[in-house]
Amino acid sequence: MDLNYSAEELAFRDVARSWLAQNLPADLRDKVASYEELSREDLLRWHRILAAKGWIAPAWPKEWGGTGWNVVQRYIFEEELGYAGAPTLPPFGIAMCAPVLLRFGTEEQKKRFLPRIYSGEEFWCQGYSEPGAGSDLASLKTKAVRSDEGYVVSGQKIWTTLAHYADWIFCLVRTDSGAAKRQDGISFLLIDMKSPGITVRPLTLLDGGREVNEVFFDEVKVPAANRVHEEGKGWTVAKYLLGHERLNTGRIGASKRELARLKQYAASRTREGRPLLQDVRFRDRLSRLEVELMALEITNLRFLDRMRRSGEPPGAEVSMLKIKGTEIQQALTELMVQAAGPGAMGSPDRFTAALGLRYCNFRKTSIYAGSNEIQRNIIAKVTLGL
């Protein structure tokens, strides 16, 4: 047993680290560091830099632009991105739509969409949740009715992250409302956001930020060629995506960076005239959080090692990483607020005020991408057989 990276893995990490140090634009890094909202252009700029280097889609097959890295290398790279403070790029195109197309898409669909996902030319979003279908996703109602050219889609999606930036949306829609099993009546469609009949309405989150939307479909025409996999097999596609390896679910690199910032920030703070780090109540919370993160990093490496050995994709382990990873992310924002003191509730200093807003914003992490309760259901069912 050796918990340290091998010499080759360290060399790989160093190459990634020094490239990131040289190629992550300073203004983007600063924007991330000061917790500012990133514009479409910010995200695309960083996307294009990674694409030009050939590192935007490491997990793809080599013929479509993948790097051929093994799971450990891919994990190291993703962690280095987080550690460097690079903008977190939305996963919808590269890590969600593309794996679906690679697995279920036709040659034409792959040729049509993959290169533009790779280059960043087309920005994607995900149309899953609906007002009445959150954790119970299979109850979704947005319907797609067969027409001569394909489908006519009507209904509503919600919590659609960055729909206001997106050129395309991949959607789960109901093609058969009479199916005996409701999962069998669902299909997977790719829809051009410029199609007539689509309306995007922003939802302002509790921190005042604009990242999610409602998307309304009013008799939107979608060509049959934009259906992925067979009609009625959309749930199979969605489940595949759910189980698709997401090595970075724990966001450990980003959390390590936040922890280092928290320590640095806390070291500069005083409470009642004494250094904050000498306050045992604060210090112990910080230490326990650090220990939890150390444990999660090793847990993640253990899972990766098992994957590398077995060649199997991860199963319910990803749910564990999601739960612990988001709990840690949230605790980090909470301790930042505690370190800042009352200033986090409102301050002329932008950074101090941003800490309070970030705390608010991060409540989302235990809700999105399958709430932490749903993740516990998955572990209970899949791992424990309950």
Partner 1 sequence: MNFDTSEEQQLLADSVRRFLQKDYAFEARKGILASPQGWSERVWDSFAGMGLLGLPLPAEHGGFGGGAVDLMGVMDAFGEALVLEPYVPTVMAAFAIARGGSAKLKEAVLPAVAQGRIRLAFSADGRQVLGAAGADKLVVRSGDQLVVAEANEVAVKPYRVLDGRAAADIELKGRPAERLEGGVRLLEQVLDFAAALACAEAVGAMQYACDATLEYLKTRKQFGVPIGTFQALQHRMVDMVIATEQARSMACLACSKADQAVEAERARAVSAAKIKIADAARHVSQEAIQLHGGMGMTEELKVSHTFRRLTFLAQQFGDADYHLERFARL
Q: Mind telling me the catalytic residues?
A: 245
- Give the separation between CA 161 and CA 124, rounded to whole angstroms: 10
- Give the separation between CA 292 and CA 331, rounded to whole angstroms: 10
Could you tell me the two tokens for 86? 């690079």
Does 69 interact with partner 1 (rule: CB under 8 A)? no
Does 383 interact with partner 1 (rule: CB under 8 A)? yes
Min. distance of Cβ 296 from partner 1 in angstroms? Answer: 7
In the bound state with partner 1, the residue whose beta carbon lies nearer, of 2 and 148, is 2
Judge residue 60's burial from the number of C-beta atoms within 10 Å of its C-beta, 0-12 exposed, 13-18 middle, 19 or more buried.
buried
Of 23, 305, 313, 347, the residue at the interface with partner 1 (CB under 8 A) is 305
Positive or negative, the CA dihedral 79, 82, 86, 89 is: positive
Binding span for partner 1 by CB under 8 A among 124-132, 222-230, 348-356, 373-381: 373-381
Query: At a CB cut-off of 8 Å and minimum separation 6, what does 101 contact?
Result: 109, 110, 113, 114, 228
Of all helices (H) and strands (E), which one includes residue 373?
Answer: helix 372-378
Residue with tokens 């294009």, as numbered in its chain: 48
Of all helices (H) and strands (E), which one includes residue 222?
Answer: strand 210-223
Binding span for partner 1 by CB under 8 A among 228-236, 295-303, 338-346, 351-359: 295-303
Does 291 interact with partner 1 (rule: CB under 8 A)? yes
Does 7 interact with partner 1 (rule: CB under 8 A)? no
Does 9 interact with partner 1 (rule: CB under 8 A)? yes
Min. distance of Cβ 364 from partner 1 in angstroms? Answer: 20
In the bound state with partner 1, the residue whose beta carbon lies nearer, of 72 and 133, is 72
Binding span for partner 1 by CB under 8 A among 28-36, 192-200, 292-300, 358-366: 292-300
In the bound state with partner 1, the residue whose beta carbon lies nearer, of 172 and 266, is 266
Asked if 354 and 34 touch (Cβ cutoff 8 Å), the reply is yes
Between strands 210-223 and 198-204, the pairing is antiparallel
In the bound state with partner 1, the residue whose beta carbon lies nearer, of 157 and 324, is 324
Does 5 interact with partner 1 (rule: CB under 8 A)? yes
Min. distance of Cβ 66 from partner 1 in angstroms? Answer: 22
Could you tell me the two tokens for 5? 């990276």
DSSP-assigned letter for residue 125: E
Does 135 interact with partner 1 (rule: CB under 8 A)? no
Does 171 interact with partner 1 (rule: CB under 8 A)? no
The letter for the amino acid at 275 is P
Judged by the rule CB under 8 A, the positions of this chain that interact with partner 1 are 1-6, 9, 72, 283-284, 287-288, 290-292, 294-296, 298-299, 301-302, 305-306, 309, 320, 323-324, 373, 376-377, 379-380, 383-386
